Amino acid sequence: MKTQVAIIGAGPAGLLLGHLLKAEGIDCVVVERQTPDYVLSRIRAGVLEQITVSLLERLGLDGRLKAEGLVEHGFNLADGERLIRIDCMGLTGKSVVVYGQTEITRDLMDAAPSRGLEVIYGAEDVALHGVESDAPAITFRKNGAERRIEARFIAGCDGFHGPSRKAIPASAAREYERVYPFGWLGILADVPPCHEELIYANHERGFALASMRSHTRSRYYIDVPLTERVEDWSDERLWDELAVRLGPDAAANITRGPALEKSIAPLRSYVFEPMRHGSLLLCGDAAHIVPPTGAKGLNLAASDVHYAAEALRGYFTRADNDGIADYSAKALARVWKCERFSWSLTKLMHRFPDDGPFERAMQVAELDYIASSVAAQTSIAENYVGLPV
Ligand code: RFL
Ligand code: PHB
């Protein structure tokens, strides 16, 4: 089989790229290891920047997002009993939208057949070939049969553990990594949110986040040591901990309910350079990971895909190779700024096991400064709603 772009991974990055290319008349195929149900069962991001919303809008796939997404004009940083509101709309004129990654993926998946986007699920042992040539290929097994797709480009949208990044020789690459000494334990429940806006809390017992998916579905997180196991956290224990960490006002409004999902995700900062090698372009978590504190992972995947789609459009419709040549530098410039923001918000809002009184004093001083400075709040708001693409 031959196509113009072979896309590995049907997460948000792969599906968005597939739809954008199809909309430009560029031939592509998406190859995914898992089943559609498995992909949809992963509970992840919830906060969308304008770039992510506008890509769905451009594709005409924003119907449900417009109807069901919650527009958030601000969010809150809690420190003990103090709540610092970051008025994103007032400070930047922009907002974010709460709409689950699961729902975006579902919308993109559901629209694929009618847009002629072929997605091959259940592809085993996907391997990349000839990425340094102008005629790369991918091979895989599906229902026991060997398959091969020849393409002009491969888009590696296969997340942090996929094979794409590994197809780039170490001698041509550089990795940057920071692993954090805790993970986030998340709970999803069909209960109304405790607050109309998100609350990120730094409490002496640790971090907590109150988020949501709708007026009737809440998503909460606390940070836990990496040695912790989900089985040790009954719903009741987790609700008790959230009530303490989020502070008395939020606690008074928490509605408890049985967990629809509960899981622990490790926190990591990671960047792989370059994001293009020969005919292989990396997009999303395949090239970088941010700790979830800034709500940037999915949105960075969207901005990568935007740059990649532009570059591929230039190549196929105008025989212009400049976009492909510039893709890595352009994407990485934005990636590093989002890495910085996610890292700094993580440092500000978590109690690290090695931190002493000095580090805590620095957090308090920074939170005091943020509480009293419009400039500091504007800087946070500008990053949170999304830097320009
Ligand atoms: P994905 O979503 O991991 O999709 C990659 C796809 O590739 C497939 N794959 C393969 N396919 C074929 N062959 C192979 N060998 C393959 N190996 C893997 C996988 O099955 C999968 O379907 O990466 P993508 O598309 O780059 O999307 C990135 C986002 O998923 C991620 O950055 C966000 O979820 C991060 N994130 C958040 N981002 C935000 O923007 N806002 C948030 O509020 C937010 N909250 C979060 C988050 C991530 C979290 N976790 C669990 C890591 C909260 C959490 C808890
Ligand atoms: C979520 O709702 O899952 C969520 C929201 C904000 C974050 C991370 C995760 O920073």
Pocket test for ligand 1, best of 15, 44, 103 (most atoms within 8 A of CB): 44
Closest among 124, 126, 146 to 136, alpha carbons compared: 126
pLDDT tens track for 60-100? 999 999 999 999 999 999 998 899 999 999 999 999 999 99
> Does the pLDDT of residue 343 top 90, yes or no?
yes
Q: Whose CA is nearest to atom 6 of ligand 2?
A: 295
What would the 3-class secondary structure string for 78-90 be? Answer: EECCEEEEECHHH
Residue 46 beta carbon below 6 angstroms from any ligand 2 atom? yes
What does the domain layout of the chain look like in residue ranges? Answer: 5-45+100-176+268-346
**Which ligand minimizes its atom distance to the CA of 207?**
2
pTM above 0.95, yes or no: yes
Q: Which residues surround ligand 1 with Cβ inside 6 Å?
A: 8-14, 31-34, 39, 44-47, 101, 123, 126, 157-159, 161-163, 184, 186, 265, 284-285, 292, 295-299, 301
User: For the chain, what's the residue count?
Assistant: 389
Among the atoms of ligand 1, which is closest to the Cα of residue 43? 51
> Does the pLDDT of residue 44 top 90, yes or no?
no
Q: Kindly report the number of other CB atoms within 10 A of residue 35's CB atom.
A: 11
- pLDDT score for 349: 98
Give 122 Cα–ligand 2 centroid separation in angstroms: 29
pLDDT tens track for 159-200? 999 999 999 999 999 999 999 999 999 999 999 999 999 999
Give 27 Cα–ligand 1 centroid separation in angstroms: 24
Name the pLDDT band for 242 (thresholds 50, 70, 90).
Answer: very high
Which overall architecture, per CATH, does domain 5-45+100-176+268-346 show? Answer: 3-Layer(bba) Sandwich (3.50)
For range 269-273, the mean pLDDT: 98
Locate 233 and state its tokens: 């956290």
